[in-house]
Amino acid sequence: MQKIAIIGAGNVGGQVALSLIGEGAPHLALLDVADGLAKGKALDLEDAASVLKRDCKIEAGSDFSLLKDAGIIVVTAGLARKPGMSRDDLLKKNSEIVKGVSSRIKQYAVNPIVIVITNPVDLMTYLAAEATGFDKNRVFGMGVSLDGARFANLIHNELQAPVSHIEAVVIGSHGQTMVPAPHMTKVSGARLERLVDKKILGHLVKSTVERGASIVAHLGSGSAYFGPAAAAACLVRAIVKDEKRIIGACAYVNGEYGIK
């Protein structure tokens, strides 16, 4: 597995790093504007790697030259939501952060794959693609991969079916306009619409859309990080191991499917 860089050493970034160590990543770089935060997390992650019996070189700091030789860069830098905020409320501040980070990626990294996690992720992915100037098929966002997992979890809770038997589909943006698609969702090969009535179906769809806000409300400070980090690590694994899986994500389109 190649060197993977993570920009942003907060809750999401740290958890992404831990997940990748568990996957066997041999070389990570953890960057944050708070130099001490990145270095402190790196020391803790080294200990975690030892616990997990994994050999992983971890570089850390605020110097973007750490991006050199990174084949994959995960962008988690940005502000998190607070109760009552939508993902779009983060737009102005996080736009500035992502543009700045993207310019540094362009400066130091040679044709990496960039995965954006920062919210609002669809817009941040577009900004990253524009700012880096990389081929658009090398810059994409976590998008609805997390929402599909949330939909599957809610279906699991309702039907007690194994999550591994659930193919949950969510399309659109990672936000209030996302569209959980029951007619495309299957449980052990059967369409979800045939397994639950319309009332339950409506509840599952509504709960999926509101899941992120519910987590924010309960936490009181910050937003989800275990789920987003797991989704990011899943994307990295699929790329590195060439798993040939279909995973929901947001990407730059230029005429595909009539969208531009």
Q: Is residue 174 flagged as an active site residue?
A: yes
CB-count burial class (<10 Å; 0-12, 13-18, 19+) for 54: middle
Contacts of 38 (CB under 8 A, 6+ apart): 9, 30, 31, 32, 60, 61, 62
Q: Which of 27, 174, 183, 203 is catalytic?
A: 174
Query: Cis bond leading into 120, ω under 30°?
Result: yes
Q: Which residues contact 123 (CB under 8 A, 6 or more apart)?
A: 88, 91, 95
The residues, ordered by sequence, that sit 6+ positions from 164 with a Cβ below 8 Å of its Cβ are none
State the catalytic residues: 174
